[in-house]
Structure 1
Amino acid sequence: MTTLACILEREFPICHLRLRGTLSLATVPQLRATGLKAFADQPDLVLIDVSGLEVEDDVTLTAFPALVHQGSADNVSVMLYGVRPALAVQLDRIVVARQVPTFETREQALAAHARWPAPTRAQIDLAPDRDATALARDLVDRCCERWGVRHVADDAALVVTELVANAVQHARTGSTVVVTLRERYLHVAVRDRSSRRPRRITADNELESGRGLLIVDGVATSWGVIDTVGGKVVWATLRLRRGR
């Protein structure tokens, strides 16, 4: 039986997906599921390492254009790198190479992505003090006004306030707030330098901190935590539609 290891490494704003094993009709669903999991974090780029991939049947390679199409809908770029000569021939044979950006090395892929038009983005570095939440709200307000999405400004300001407050009160480190406008979502991310993960409040710990996450849970379309080298990123998305 063929096996495929799909190793997802999140280094916001890029997700690395390393494939090891055999791509077959049996393992394609695993690739698709991992790709969708990567898109859920709303990265700028999903970089797929195919240097350790074997292909059982050419038709399974159509999974890559499908991921590119899905990524395009979410305003996430998808690239392949580590493409060996034999795989390049297979990709070309079924015209996949014309639909999926492919590169020999990771450095080439990153250089190409750097030349592409980036999503609308703004960021600010904050000290862990009482002014941090106000500065973060001001950034969000200005971005929503400039980008013409004023209707989500209040919710976005509420979300960023809670995420930054969590970084100040619990991580107790400086933080970086990144606000990104995508096709269908406003994405807010707060990176800090603590590995301590935020916790939702429950009946058993209702006296502990964590009420802010209940607010984020109720206001945001989705949210999550990505562990990074030397800390974490707590992110949230808000759908760009009027009314809730």
Structure 2
Amino acid sequence: MTIEHELTCTHEPDFPVAVVHAAGRLTFATVPMLRNAGQKALTDQPEVLLIDVSALEAVDDITLTAFPMIARNGVETGTDVMLVGPGPALVEQLERLGVARQVPVHAGLAEAIAAHGRLPGPRRVELALPALPAATASARELVDQACTTWRLPHLADTAALIVTELVANAVEHAGTPIRVTVALRDRHLHLAVRDESPLPLERSGEDEEPGRGLLIVEGMASAWGCLHTAGGKVVWATLRREPKR
């Protein structure tokens, strides 16, 4: 068996639940395949990504740190990441490395879905918009409504300004249909703007001064970034629900 066939990762895309089945031997040589599969699954922005590890053997313990990395990328896209179905040996490895404290682990798919369903909601709203200047006003209204519904009035103005700059950037440089997502997480409010352009992110906004729009995002968000997808890209930003102590 060749190295590239020691691990197989199959993706079942769906919304709100996506599943990646990882089967075979996880080694230093095959861990990039797992990371890539997780990244690809996150680009669809499901509410939860379940990684089925029931047929996975971790040959090198340290490779299991790929799971917290995928979970951190999930925070960026507003997606919860959970592991399902580990055997006794894998459970011991996950606990020994502390991975189980960073990524929820469940016995099976049904249990993981039930656990996700018990999380507080509503947790996510979306809006599809055309690449027109008026899209910024619609995106601000979506954010205002979400902050009101989720009782986060203290974040409304900042979130509205951030989403304005993200949408304005997409309208100006991508020129494709846009999807705006606002997601409520345990500690953060997550904003994302998805477009269908393969071009790299351009650093400009509503103003003529190049770079000012995303500099505003950079200065006001707790974190922000860009994920490239098969059909374009997702530019995201997060705001802490409570002030940092």
* Structure 1 segment 31-180 matched on structure 2, within 5 A: 31=66, 34-46=69-81, 59-62=92-95, 66-67=98-99, 69-71=101-103, 78=104, 100-103=106-109, 120-180=123-183
Structure 2 CA distance for partners of 1:150 and 1:63, relative to 1, 3 Å: farther
How far did 1:241 drift?
2.2
Which has more radius of gyration?
1
Deviations, residues 140-170 of structure 1 (Å, cap 9, x unaligned): 1111122111111111011000000011100
User: For 2:126, what is the secondary structure of its paired residue?
Assistant: strand
Deviations, residues 57-113 of structure 1 (Å, cap 9, x unaligned): 76313269x545434xxxxxx5xxxxxxxxxxxxxxxxxxxx52434xxxx799768
Is structure 2 residue 242 aligned with structure 1 residue 241?
yes
- Figure out how many residues of one structure are paired with residues of the other and give that number: 206
How far apart are the structure 1 equivalents of 2:202 and 2:83? 31
How far apart are the structure 2 equivalents of 1:125 and 1:210? 25
User: For 1:232, what is the secondary structure of its paired residue?
Assistant: strand
How far did 1:115 drift?
5.4
Task: Give the letter for the 1:70 counterpart.
Answer: Q
Unpaired segments of 5 or more residues in structure 2? 1-26
User: For 2:146, what is the secondary structure of its paired residue?
Assistant: helix
Structure 2 CA distance for partners of 1:11 and 1:126, relative to 1, 3 Å: same
How far did 1:30 drift?
3.4
How far did 1:231 drift?
1.3
TM-score (norm 1): 0.67
Unpaired segments of 5 or more residues in structure 1? 72-77, 79-98, 202-206
Deviations, residues 108-148 of structure 1 (Å, cap 9, x unaligned): 79976885555522111111112100111111111112211
Task: Give the letter for the 2:217 counterpart.
Answer: V
How far apart are the structure 2 equivalents of 1:186 and 1:142? 13
Task: Give the letter for the 1:224 counterpart.
Answer: G
* Aligned sequence identity (%): 36
The equivalent of 2:224 in structure 1 is: 223
The equivalent of 1:27 in structure 2 is: 62
How far apart are the structure 2 equivalents of 1:241 and 1:129? 33
Structure 2 CA distance for partners of 1:230 and 1:32, relative to 1, 3 Å: closer
- Asked if 2 retains the 8 angstrom alpha-carbon contact of 1:119 and 1:182, the reply is no
Task: Give the letter for the 2:124 counterpart.
Answer: R
